[in-house]
Amino acid sequence: MVGAGCGGDEVVVFLPESLEKVAGADAQSALAGGFLPVPLAVTVRTADGSLAPRGMVRWTFITGTGGVLSDSTTMADGAGQAQITVRLGAAPGAYGVRAQLVVKPVRAVEFTATALAPPTLASISPAQFGGGDSIVVTGTGLDTSATLVVSGVPARLLGVTGGSTLTALAPVCLAPGPVSVGVRIGAAVSNQLPATYQSQAEPIQLAIGDYAAVEPARVAGCALFPPAGSDTAEYLIAPQQVSGAAGDSVSYRLRGDSAALPVFGRPAVRERPFSLAFHDALRAAEADFAGRPRSALAAAPSDAATAAEIGVGDRRTFRVCSKFDCNTLEDFSLVDAEARYVGKRAALYQDLTAPAGGFATTDFETLGALFDEQLYDVATRAFGAESDVDLNGRVLILFTPVVNRLTPAAECSQAFVTGFFFGIDIDPAFANDDRSNHGEVFYAIVPDSAQTLTCRFTVAQVRRLVPVTFIHEFQHMISYHQRVLVRGASAEELWLNEAMSHLAEELGAFRMLSLGDTKSFSEFAIGDLLNAFVYLKDPEPQHMLFKVTPGTIEERGASWLFLRWVVDQFGDPVIRRLSETSLRGQQNIAAATSESVPLLLTQWFLANYVSDLPGVPAQGRLRYRKWNFRTQYANLNAQSPTTFDRPFPIVPPVFTGGMFDVSGYLRSGSGAYFRVRVPPGPRGTAVQLTDGGGGALNGAAARLNVVRLK
DSSP string computed for 365-427 = HHHHHHIIIIIHHHHHHHH-PPP-TTSSS-EEEEE-HHHHHHS-GGGTTT----EE--GGGT-
Residue 587 pLDDT greater than 90, yes or no: yes
Q: What is the pLDDT of residue 201?
A: 52
In the structure, what pLDDT confidence band is assigned to residue 628 with cuts at 50, 70 and 90?
very high
Lowest mean pLDDT among 98-112, 172-186, 293-307: 293-307
Tell me whether residue 29 is in a domain: yes
Q: Which helix (H) or strand (E) holds 573?
A: helix 573-579
Do 95 and 131 sit in the same domain of this protein?
no
- Answer yes or no: are the C-beta atoms of 173 and 219 closer than 8 Å: yes
Q: What is the pLDDT of residue 2?
A: 33
Do 192 and 340 sit in the same domain of this protein?
no
Q: What is the pLDDT of residue 3?
A: 33
Q: Which helix (H) or strand (E) holds 244?
A: none
Do 465 and 332 sit in the same domain of this protein?
yes
SS3 119: coil
Amino acid at 678: V
Q: What is the pLDDT of residue 35?
A: 94
Residue 295 pLDDT greater than 90, yes or no: no
- The CATH number of whichever domain residue 131 belongs to comes to 2.60.40.10
Higher pLDDT, 454 or 203: 454
Q: What is the pLDDT of residue 659?
A: 83
Q: What is the mean pLDDT of residues 408-424?
A: 91
Instruction: Give dist(CA 545, CA 586) in Å, integer.
Output: 9
Tell me whether residue 319 is in a domain: yes
Tell me whether residue 70 is in a domain: yes
Lowest mean pLDDT among 30-39, 538-547, 645-654, 656-665: 656-665
Q: What percentage of the chain carries pLDDT values higher than 70?
A: 92
- Answer yes or no: are the C-beta atoms of 302 and 14 closer than 8 Å: yes
| Mean pLDDT taken over the chain | 89
Residue 299 pLDDT greater than 70, yes or no: no
Do 130 and 83 sit in the same domain of this protein?
no
In the structure, what pLDDT confidence band is assigned to residue 264 with cuts at 50, 70 and 90?
low
Amino acid at 245: A
Do 81 and 128 sit in the same domain of this protein?
no
Residue 70 pLDDT greater than 70, yes or no: yes
Neighbours of 344 (CB within 10 A): 16
Tell me whether residue 176 is in a domain: yes
Residue 297 pLDDT greater than 70, yes or no: no
Q: What is the pLDDT of residue 152?
A: 80
Higher pLDDT, 382 or 223: 382
Instruction: Give dist(CA 498, CA 489) in Å, integer.
Output: 18
Residue 304 pLDDT greater than 50, yes or no: no
Dmax over CA atoms of the chain, in Å, equals 89
Q: 518-537 and 459-480 are packed helices; what angle lies between their axes, rounded to 10 degrees?
A: 70
In the structure, what pLDDT confidence band is assigned to residue 313 with cuts at 50, 70 and 90?
very high
- Answer yes or no: are the C-beta atoms of 172 and 200 closer than 8 Å: no
pTM above 0.75, yes or no: yes
In the structure, what pLDDT confidence band is assigned to residue 270 with cuts at 50, 70 and 90?
low
In the structure, what pLDDT confidence band is assigned to residue 308 with cuts at 50, 70 and 90?
very low
The C-alpha R_g of the chain, in whole angstroms, comes to: 27
Residue 117 pLDDT greater than 60, yes or no: yes
Q: Which of 572, 573, 561 is nearest to 632 (CA)?
A: 561
> Per-residue pLDDT tens for 137-188?
999 999 999 999 998 878 889 999 999 999 999 887 666 788 899 999 988 9
Q: Which of 636, 639, 635, 605 is nearest to 622 (CA)?
A: 605
Residue 305 pLDDT greater than 50, yes or no: no
Instruction: Give dist(CA 467, CA 512) in Å, integer.
Output: 12
Amino acid at 297: L
Q: What is the pLDDT of residue 658?
A: 78
Residue 362 pLDDT greater than 50, yes or no: yes
Give the total number of structural domains in the chain.
3
Q: What is the pLDDT of residue 467?
A: 97
Do 390 and 331 sit in the same domain of this protein?
yes
Question: DSSP E strands: which ranges in 457-535?
Answer: none
Higher pLDDT, 206 or 38: 38
Instruction: Give dist(CA 591, CA 588) in Å, integer.
Output: 5
Question: DSSP E strands: which ranges in 601-684?
Answer: 654-656, 661-667, 674-678
Do 112 and 123 sit in the same domain of this protein?
no
Q: What is the pLDDT of residue 177?
A: 80
Tell me whether residue 187 is in a domain: yes
Q: What is the mean pLDDT of residues 636-653?
A: 96
In the structure, what pLDDT confidence band is assigned to residue 258 with cuts at 50, 70 and 90?
low
> Per-residue pLDDT tens for 78-87?
999 999 999 9
Do 360 and 462 sit in the same domain of this protein?
yes
Tell me whether residue 529 is in a domain: no
Lowest mean pLDDT among 33-37, 268-272, 412-416: 268-272
Tell me whether residue 163 is in a domain: yes
From 60, 92, 116, give the residue that closes a domain.
Answer: 116
Do 62 and 122 sit in the same domain of this protein?
no
Lowest mean pLDDT among 90-99, 250-259, 364-373: 250-259
Do 176 and 42 sit in the same domain of this protein?
no
Beta-strand relationship, 177-185 and 674-678: unpaired
Do 359 and 461 sit in the same domain of this protein?
yes
- Give me the domain span that covers residue 399: 312-475
Report the chain's terminal Cα–Cα distance, integer Å. Answer: 70
Residue 7 pLDDT greater than 90, yes or no: no
From 88, 116, 144, give the residue that closes a domain.
Answer: 116
- Answer yes or no: are the C-beta atoms of 35 and 2 closer than 8 Å: no
Tell me whether residue 133 is in a domain: yes
From 184, 200, 216, give the residue that closes a domain.
Answer: 200
Residue 76 pLDDT greater than 50, yes or no: yes
In the structure, what pLDDT confidence band is assigned to residue 215 with cuts at 50, 70 and 90?
confident
Do 106 and 161 sit in the same domain of this protein?
no
Amino acid at 551: G
Q: What is the mean pLDDT of residues 500-516?
A: 98
